[in-house]
């Protein structure tokens, strides 16, 4: 009997990774490491999500979580595919890029945390939906001015994420207003005359468990109903935050978003009745779901080392893709040209950074790899470039967007001069 091994079954970019000629030509033209994205996959992801929502819910908004990837070409590709798309911004910088791309302020939600007064003022003046992390943020905001509408980020007392470091609610989380204090938080702005409200909740990232979202929404709507009853108000919108996961491993199944939002709509029926048009607008803030599997880091094998462990050394490292070093995140690594090759060796994959935590994979089974080979570190479209850094004074790589296979340079690689450009230092004129 032959056992069917379910490896490499569905990565959407597999045909691209198999095309050695194309990727060698990108490496030659733009250098490595290189972030490579595929425009068609960006379009597919947002259209699939939009149609799943549209099928079951009348009033909804996808607010793309800009923190995942702020390259304006990426944001604009998503926005052009679904023009009703809004943005979830968590800093003045993300607000800036939303405005540059032309996303209307009314379609944006701003969720900071420990926001300074300057930051609050920027967000308030921009006209976006303001979502505050805490009642103390409201007190700071009040000294600047009052918005027409306000929401708070709820911490329902539990959270769930792909791994503990990316759980963003519960008793250990720094985010949000605890469930026990949420009515009080809304009482202040209500007493100050604010009449329009939203409620937001983001409990963790990378979830593939269908039921979790349904249970989470039940909790959110139960809490929302108690606030509405207690303070005689009605929410304009409910945001479930982001957190929709993608399969980072071969054996994982993607979320069935059509089924998910069908069930989500049934929860709305229970709390807000059968008339879909009378429900509060449902906002979701996906980051990973839209962009993670649309991009990878193309990197060259620099050296192989046999020590107490075996190492594959790349020209990409924790400076290029921080997630594995930051929280042991798993990213598939394929050999370019031959991603289906059977694995034979257990190795750690590392870069050239002077930190022992510089790992892209630990104890990973990989096929035979030689110096000079190209590899693709998958699912780097989200939290890839945005978390990259210049540690060890290594300039950040370029980003390329493939549109129908044709490469478009969407960010040049940095030079050493770029790193020091703002230091305004010249040896000849220094005293």
Ligand X SMILES: Cc1ncc(COP(=O)(O)O)c(C=O)c1O
Active-site residue, 354 included: yes
Q: Which residues bind ligand X (CB under 6 A)?
A: 65, 67-68, 88, 111, 168, 202, 205-206, 241-244, 285-289, 382
Q: For ligand X, give the closer residue by CB, 182 or 202.
A: 202
CA angle 311/313/319 to nearest 5° reads: 120
CB of 65 to ligand X, least distance (A): 4
Q: For ligand X, give the closer residue by CB, 86 or 287.
A: 287
Q: For ligand X, give the closer residue by CB, 18 or 81.
A: 81
Q: For ligand X, give the closer residue by CB, 212 or 311.
A: 212
CB of 137 to ligand X, least distance (A): 14
Catalytic residue among 63, 108, 354, 423: 354
Question: Concatenated DSSP letters for 348-398?
Answer: EEE-S-SSTT-EEEEEEEE----TT-EEEE-S-SSSSGGG---GGG-PPPE
Name the DSSP letter for residue 146: -
Q: For ligand X, give the closer residue by CB, 112 or 339.
A: 112
CA distance to 208, 232, 398, 403, per residue, from 77 (Å): 25, 41, 18, 10
Whether 141 contacts 124, CB under 8 Å = yes
CB of 239 to ligand X, least distance (A): 8
Cα distance from N-terminal residue to C-terminal residue, the chain: 80
CB of 274 to ligand X, least distance (A): 30
Question: Concatenated DSSP letters for 38-99?
Answer: EHHHHHHHHHHHHHHHHHH-SSEEEEEEGGG---HHHHHHHHHHSTT-EEEE-SHHHHHHHH
CB of 341 to ligand X, least distance (A): 31
Positions marked catalytic: 354
């Amino acid at each position: 009997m032959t056992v069917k091994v379910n490896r490499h079954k569905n990565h959407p970019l597999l045909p691209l990774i198999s095309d050695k000629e194309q990727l060698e030509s990108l490496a030659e033209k733009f250098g490595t490491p290189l972030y490579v994205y595929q425009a068609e996959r960006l379009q597919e992801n947002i259209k699939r999500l939009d149609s799943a929502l549209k099928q079951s819910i009348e009033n909804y908004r996808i607010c793309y979580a800009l923190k995942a990837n702020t390259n304006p070409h990426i944001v604009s590709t998503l926005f052009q595919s679904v023009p009703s798309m809004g943005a979830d911004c968590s800093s003045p910088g993300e607000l800036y890029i939303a405005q540059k791309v032309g996303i209307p302020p009314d379609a944006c939600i701003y969720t900071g945390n420990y926001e300074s007064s300057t930051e609050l003022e920027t967000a308030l003046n921009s006209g976006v939906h303001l979502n505050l992390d805490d009642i103390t943020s409201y007190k700071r905001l009040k000294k600047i001015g009052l918005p027409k509408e306000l929401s708070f980020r709820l911490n329902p007392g539990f959270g769930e994420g792909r791994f503990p470091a990316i759980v963003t609610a519960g008793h250990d989380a720094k985010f949000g207003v605890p469930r026990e204090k949420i009515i009080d938080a809304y009482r202040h702005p209500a007493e100050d005359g604010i009449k329009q409200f939203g409620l937001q909740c983001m409990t963790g990232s990378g979830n593939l468990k269908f039921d979790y979202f349904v249970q989470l929404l039940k909790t959110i709507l139960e809490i929302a109903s108690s606030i509405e009853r207690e303070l005689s108000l009605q929410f304009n919108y409910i945001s479930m935050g982001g957190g929709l996961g993608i399969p980072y491993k071969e054996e994982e199944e993607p979320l069935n978003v059509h089924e998910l939002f069908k069930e989500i709509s049934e929860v709305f029926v229970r709390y807000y009745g059968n008339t879909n048009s009378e429900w509060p607008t449902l906002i979701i803030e996906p980051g990973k779901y839209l962009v993670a599997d649309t991009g990878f880091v193309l990197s060259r094998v620099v050296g192989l080392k046999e020590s107490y462990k075996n190492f594959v050394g790349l020209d990409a490292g924790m400076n290029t893709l921080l997630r594995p070093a930051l929280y042991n995140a798993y990213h598939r690594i394929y050999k370019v040209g031959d991603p289906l090759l059977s694995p034979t060796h257990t190795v750690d994959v590392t870069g050239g950074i002077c930190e022992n935590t510089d790992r892209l994979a630990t104890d990973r089974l990989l096929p035979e790899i030689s110096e000079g080979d190209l590899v693709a570190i998958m699912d780097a479209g989200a939290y890839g470039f945005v978390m990259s850094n210049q540690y060890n004074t290594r300039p950040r790589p370029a980003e390329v967007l493939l549109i129908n296979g044709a490469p478009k340079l969407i960010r040049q690689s940095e030079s050493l001069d770029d790193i020091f450009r703002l230091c305004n230092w010249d040896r000849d004129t220094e005293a």
